[in-house]
Amino acid sequence: MKKTVHVGIYDTMADWETGHATAHLRSGRFHREPGGYELVTVALTAEPITTMGGLRVTPDLTLDRLDPAGSALLILAGADLWDQGDELAPFARKAREFLDAGVPVAAICGATAGLAREGLLDDRDHTSAVVHYLAAQDGYAGAGRYLDEDAVTGGDLITAGPTEPVAFAREILRRLDVCRPDVLDAWFRLHSRSDASAYEVLMTA
């Protein structure tokens, strides 16, 4: 039976930030176990959303029905809405539910600001665009745990800045133990650096 990964979707969602992670999770390619993951999109309402790239997406599930017990991971992408008020705050509160239940959460770009306002970064290693971006968020007191890295896993929380969708995917795949370490390293070298030597590892995986 496939494990389920939930992906938060909302208007102005930065659709490119999660593409490497979701495509690899769904494909099952190079996975330790065959079959891949089922991806379920989650929105505030049942109405379609429009991503920053103009894609219209109909959600599979509403946020109020999302139970961490039925999930392997919650992914939250950036969006203009994270910086324009509290409309997406329910996703940050749901992230708290996931973390309290011991279920991983992965947030990139503006979603890290939403988690900062919820206080979820204060006691966990994390990253974002720059520390000053998070420092401007009400409620953030985690500057001492900020790491200037491409992506960071702090326990059950994965974070990355807006320019690091491949590193974000790497941390997700590592946290879920999707691939052998040598395969994951080769996958990352290929997609982040166009390292042709990675092909040999991937073709024999």
pLDDT of residue 2: 75
Q: What are the pLDDT digits (tens) for 50-74?
A: 999 999 999 999 999 999 999 999 9
**Six token digits for residue 184:** 């994951």
The alpha helices in the chain, defined as continuous H runs, are 19-27, 89-100, 110-117, 131-135, 165-175, 181-193, 198-203
Of these residues, 25, 109, 172, 178, which one is catalytic? Answer: 109
Beta bridge partners of 63: none
pLDDT of residue 162: 97
Radius of gyration of the chain (CA): 16
Q: What are the pLDDT digits (tens) for 19-31?
A: 999 999 999 988 9
Q: What are the pLDDT digits (tens) for 95-129?
A: 999 999 999 999 999 999 999 999 999 999 999 99
pLDDT of residue 160: 98
Nearest to 143 by CA among 171, 101, 165, 112: 112
Query: Quick check: 1 pLDDT over 90?
Result: no
Ranges of each domain in the chain: 4-179
Return all residues near 130 (Cβ < 8 A) that are at least 6 apart.
Answer: 161
109 is known as an active-site residue: yes
Query: Quick check: 35 pLDDT over 70?
Result: yes
Beta bridge partners of 126: 146
Q: Kindly report the average pLDDT of the chain as a whole number.
A: 96
Q: Is 87 helix (H, G, I), strand (E, B) or coil?
A: coil
CATH superfamily of 4-179: Class I glutamine amidotransferase (GATase) domain (3.40.50.880)
Q: What's this model's pTM, rounded to 2 decimal places? A: 0.96
